[in-house]
Amino acid sequence: MVWWEVIARLALAMVLGGLVGMQREFQRNAAGFRTHTLVALGSCVAMLTNEYLYRTYGGSSTDIARMGSYVISGIGFLGAGSIVKDGVRIRGLTTAAGLWVVACLGLAAGAGFYIGAGVGAVLVVMILTLMKTVEGRFMRKKERIEIGLQMRNQPFQMAQVLQVLGEAGLSIRDVKMADTDEKWVDVTIITTLIANVTAEDISSRLEGLKGIRLTSVDFT
């Protein structure tokens, strides 16, 4: 293998990984530009090393696909580190999948499969940008609402809050309450929107309850 082709493959892997990483960086994900670039570059180096061993020692003693398969399986550890649980919601699944795809793009670039690597990177960016709009507009039927409030530390206070939210068409997913003996307790209620309801509707219903101070209503 000539030296310029080695450099070309490494450069292509960096560009493709960086292209996907820039999109994730703009979305403020934990794994951004540098992470994706490094994953693609490392995968490319692994594939080039595999090909070098194959050319140097011959096909009888070296499996050219072995190191690439190790990269694909090993990248799962890095992807798993980007997945976190936030209450009832799981974050980072798209980032983990993106890291796995970037590793595959790096392997393709390292193997000299330029068309597959280039077209694959373009399709990945399209999925991460265009498909997110389609998903949010046409496929997402339930919306997550996080309600923050202060509640007087008295019996049956939480029961009446949950009843009011249920009557408003909200499905309760999680309740976080500070463990304190103070007169007022900070409470966060995570719900799923089933019926058409606005933040004003929620505010008016909760503000009518005694011993309740509404602090925030966030649609996510």
Q: Which of 20, 12, 4 is nearest to 44 (CA)?
A: 12
According to CATH, the topology of domain 143-219 is Alpha-Beta Plaits (3.30.70)
Concatenating the DSSP letter of every residue in 23-54 gives: HHHHTT-SS-HHHHHHHHHHHHHHHHHHHHHH
pLDDT at 213: 85
d(CA 215, CA 187): 10
Rg (CA), the chain: 25
Coil vs helix vs strand at 65: coil
8-state DSSP, 60: T
48-76 pLDDT, tens digit each = 877 776 777 666 555 666 767 777 777 77
φ/ψ of residue 140, rounded to 5? -85, 110
Q: Where are the domains of the chain?
A: 3-139, 143-219
Q: Are the C-beta atoms of 120 and 109 separated by less than 8 Å?
A: no
Coil vs helix vs strand at 2: coil
Q: Are the C-beta atoms of 215 and 150 separated by less than 8 Å?
A: yes
∠ CA 13-19-22, rounded to 5°: 135
Whether pTM exceeds 0.95:
no
Helix axes 93-110, 33-57, angle to 10 degrees: 30
Residue-wise pLDDT tens for the chain (220 aa)?
Answer: 687 888 888 888 888 878 877 876 666 655 567 777 778 877 887 788 777 767 776 665 556 667 677 777 777 776 666 666 555 455 666 777 777 888 888 888 887 878 878 888 887 788 777 766 665 555 444 567 888 888 888 878 888 888 888 888 788 888 888 777 778 888 888 887 666 777 778 888 887 788 888 888 877 6
d(CA 37, CA 87): 31
- Per the DSSP assignment, residues forming a β-bridge with 188 are 148, 176
